[in-house]
Amino acid sequence: MYGPFKYRQNIDAWRAWANSRIDIKLLKLLNNIKFRPRPPPRNEDCNDKGWRIVIVAAKNQKKQQARGGLLRNEGGLSLMEVMVATGMIMILAGIAAPQYSQIARQMRASAAASQLLGNLAYARAQSIRTGVRHYVSTTGEAGVSYRVQRVGTNNMIVPEEDPVLRAIDLRESMPGVEFDLNGAETGPYGNAVEVAAPAAPIVFTARGMPLDTGAYYVRTSEGSVAYAVSVTGAGRARLWRQTEAGWQ
């Protein structure tokens, strides 16, 4: 026979076994249940992500109203003010245009004279380097036009036949610039002058000495500025500018 103590142990063991079976069934049931998040509402007040369209639209409307207020506070220009400003700009442009054209011609004359100075130095350097005479000859055409040439095989100076190293024609690239004395009666060294460019070419020997000295006179078409490019007996080329006191 089982005593009271043994009977109590049997009852406790049965309860423990029954409770464990129930816990296992509950765990299996909970594992089979899948918890899904609540989908966002979808109606005319919400988009597909659940945002409240009405609230967003109201915020955007407030921002636009604030921007519109800022623009309204900014003062604009009236038609009369625009017309006055345009008229002033046109008047200033009309005053500045002739001066700009004159300055542009003066700059072109300076550039043409400087280029001639460089080509005379180039002809002299080529004569010294090669031992063959080189010279600068004018073409007789309008504007500033000349050539840097080398003496041919017959050792005679024939500009129409001798090889041309450089041909310079500034009639298109520098309009309004020409060979002219611009009223000058004396040259940079005080000698009397009658022509704006030497009739004969300025020829440099193999030692860099010119066979004859001379000068070229370049000016703007309206005579606002004039330059002279002279060649001394030592073969040195120099640039001069005409002033009221003479050549400087």
Q: Is residue 232 part of a domain?
A: yes
Within-domain flag for 36:
no
Quote the number of domains for the chain.
1
CA 182 – CA 109 distance, rounded (Å): 13
In a domain, 225, yes or no: yes
CB 22 within 8 A of CB 16: no
The predicted model scores a pTM of 0.63
Q: Is residue 9 part of a domain?
A: no
Mean pLDDT taken over the chain: 81
- The average pLDDT across 118-126 equals 97
Tokens, residue 158? 């024939």
Between CA 97 and CA 116 the distance in angstroms is 29
Residue 168, C-beta contacts closer than 8 angstroms, at least 6 positions apart: 115, 116, 119, 144, 145, 146, 147, 148
DSSP state of 46: B
Query: pLDDT for 2-21, tens place per residue?
Result: 455 444 445 455 455 555 55
Where in the sequence is the domain holding 144, given as residue range(s)?
101-247
d(CA 167, CA 120): 13
In a domain? residue 64: no
Q: Note whether residue 228 is domain-resident.
A: yes
Of the two residues 137 and 23, the one the predictor is more confident about is 137
Q: Per the structure block, which two tokens stand in for 144? A: 């500033």
Q: What is the pLDDT of residues 60-106, one digit of tens each?
A: 665 666 555 555 555 667 888 888 888 888 888 787 777 777 888 89
CATH assignment at residue 124: 3.55.40.10
Calpha distance 23→18 (Å, rounded): 9
| DSSP code at position 55 | H
Q: Is residue 182 part of a domain?
A: yes
Strand order in the sheet with 177-179: 177-179, 214-220, 226-231, 237-243, 246-247
Tens of pLDDT, residue by residue over 145-194, are 999 999 998 889 999 999 999 999 999 889 999 999 999 999 999 999 99
69 assigned to some structural domain: no
